[in-house]
Amino acid sequence: MKITLSPITFDPIGSISFQTRDDQTLGETRRRMNRVATLDGGAVFNDFGYSEADRTIQLRWAVTSKVLEASVERLVQLYSRIHLATPQGFFLAAIDTYTPGANESSLSLLVVDKLS
């Protein structure tokens, strides 16, 4: 899956496009719901609907170049929020964790909002 990461503000060297692993998913879709046990042995469910902000996207890709790894690390160091373009849509995301590796690297993003 092709992914593009870019800063919110203009940065001539900040945009990155790369291919993620074939088995890549873009996080789970869930509702804001909890269950509270009642004294009669039943339960009450509080359903507060769906929000894109509950999604965490874990990107994983094969390490192919030092330039790509340096570019991702630069985004992590300079920006707290970025734009994320995927086949499922265009997101505003907060950067959580970047983990470089010898064969595979990963980036964890917390979705703030789905822009389109």
Averaged pLDDT, 56-71: 93
| Residue 30, phi then psi, degrees to nearest 5 | -145, 160
Q: CA 64 to CA 67: how far, in whole Å?
A: 9
At a CB cut-off of 8 Å and minimum separation 6, what does 77 contact?
A: none
Instruction: Please list the helix, strand and coil fractions of the chain in percent, rounded to the nearest 5, in that order.
Output: 15, 50, 35
Domains, the chain, ranges and CATH?
A: 1-22+57-116 (2.40.10)
At a CB cut-off of 8 Å and minimum separation 6, what does 54 contact?
A: 30, 32, 111
Predicted confidence band of residue 28 (pLDDT cuts 50, 70, 90): confident
Please answer whether residues 78 and 35 qualify as being in contact, where contact means their C-beta atoms are separated by less than 8 angstroms. no
Question: What is residue 23's predicted lDDT score, i.e. its pLDDT?
Answer: 82
Predicted confidence band of residue 57 (pLDDT cuts 50, 70, 90): very high
**How high does pLDDT run on average in the chain?**
93
Q: CA 29 to CA 4: how far, in whole Å?
A: 21
pLDDT for 101-110, tens place per residue?
A: 999 999 999 9
Percentage with pLDDT > 70 across the chain: 100
pLDDT for 66-96, tens place per residue?
A: 999 999 999 999 999 999 999 999 999 999 9
User: Is the pLDDT assigned to residue 45 strictly greater than 90?
Assistant: yes
